[in-house]
Amino acid sequence: MAYFMGIDVSTTGVKALLVDGQGEVAGTATTALPLSTPRPLWSEQDPADWWDGAVKSIKQVLQETGVSGEDVDGIGLTGQMHGLTLLDENGDVLRPAMLWNDQRTSEQCDEIREKVGKERLIQITGNDALTGFTAPKVLWVREHEPEVYAKAAQILLPKDYVRYKLTGEYATDKAGAAGTILMDLKTRDWSPEVLAALDIPLEWLPKTHEGPEVTGTITAETAALTGLKAGTPVVGGGGDQAAQAVGVGAVESGIIALTLGTSGVVFASTNEPFIEPEGRLHAFCHSVPGLWHLMGVMLSAAGSLRWHRDTFAPDVSFDDLVMAASSIAEGSEGLLFLPYLTGERTPYPDPYARGGFVGLTVRHTLPHMTRAVLEGVAFGLRDSFELIKAAGLEEIKQVRVSGGGAKSLLWRQILADVFTVELVTVNTTEGAAYGAALLAGVGAGTWPDVKTACAETVKQTGSTKPRIEAVGTYEEMYAYYRGLYPALMKITHGLSNF
């Protein structure tokens, strides 16, 4: 039997997942990764740890499943986006990698807007310059570590460093490349205009590939280290959210992938490169050839519920906490929760945004507050839906929901009511690694294209439809929610000084 492997280089660990030719998960293994924060706002990892984690996870999943490397017909890569890995002309790492959540580059973001022009940058790349992206990190190294920059010869994303170690090839996928803000979204390749404005050499950047496209093959040295077969093809794969979308079957326009994890992600596949004029949504290439996507990110989604439980009811299980909230009517008797516990990204890219309960009275109890948290997160995610529709994607057919928060029936119902659209759950739970494995299967020829691969492997397991009687209440409450951020912004910014 043929097998395909998805390798996910996340911030917390490297996962290797094996999928058979019918899309069934044979096994998975994860190696934890250390994270370094040597100074405030800094977030770094040693690329050697990624490679060590990949080798360990590959060997472990092969050993535990009993699958021979000879039977693995393809490998797909996914992982954290935006990180900067700098190599010299010999392929050696020059400094620790700067990660997606590294916040030191605000001055460089201003510099990029000045050199390219904010509106022009958004029109080319689909995005404003934010501290998480790769381009401002390159400028930071040039300005603060000129001795390192002088030796630079290659820029890679985290998963693409693992690709280099697996195959000896410098390559990246188009979804991941779009997250550098060095790419022309419309041409799906590096932007000569942006590179020239920032004085970054094109030869430092790897060739871009579509998600199922073969980028190289496993070397003999890697085969000896891992148990894989030399010559096994490695495909482009995708950034974590693009691969996650493949993993749940969000591979056509109008199908939304909603990830309700610690953070919340609203991912909309599109047939053309829609761009939100102010850059409040991320616009990237999809890992599906010929598709793009719009993406809104909420920083504290299920993380808000965890904070609420840990702070007010640490001895209560999540199930019991949410069950009590199900007895409270829609709207939580006039109580609203603002979920900006760690600042916000969409629709307000504001690190100084703050959370809060608004409308508290003596009638409100813990179950009221719990329901308000669930509803507040749903309202915050709807902000991304509204931006997506305003950007041009008017028809939303279905929302495919995944992540830990999606296990809650009550939360799924609130989301369906707030979005006024059907929410469905699917049988696949391994997310990005599963999507990467499907892309490998397409590259190896088991499935003719990504849409077919998803149709044959990703199956709907449940459906939650909006209730007419709840929609009206939530429309009214959402209007009040929308007024909270502009009304409180000056106050929360001032309180941040304390």
- Residues taking part in catalysis: 240
Strand order in the sheet with 460-464: 282-285, 292-298, 264-270, 255-260, 398-402, 423-426, 460-464
Tell me whether strands 207-209 and 171-173 are parallel, antiparallel or unpaired: parallel
Burial class of residue 471, CB neighbours in 10 A (0-12, 13-18, 19+): middle
Burial class of residue 151, CB neighbours in 10 A (0-12, 13-18, 19+): middle
Structural tokens at position 400: 């495919």
Q: How far, in Å, CA of 92 to CA of 100, rounded?
A: 21
Buried b (16+ CB within 10 A) or exposed e, 386-417: ebbeebebeebebbbbbbebbbbeebbbbbbb
Count CB neighbours of 89 within 10 A: 9
As beta bridge partners, residue 337 has 357
Closest CA to 286 of 448, 397, 178, 402: 178
Q: How far, in Å, CA of 207 to CA of 177, rounded?
A: 10
Q: How far, in Å, CA of 370 to CA of 437, rounded?
A: 38
Return the amino acid letter for 385: F
**Three-state secondary structure along 228-273?**
CCCCCEEEEEEEHHHHHHHHHCCCCCCEEEEEECCCEEEEEEECCC
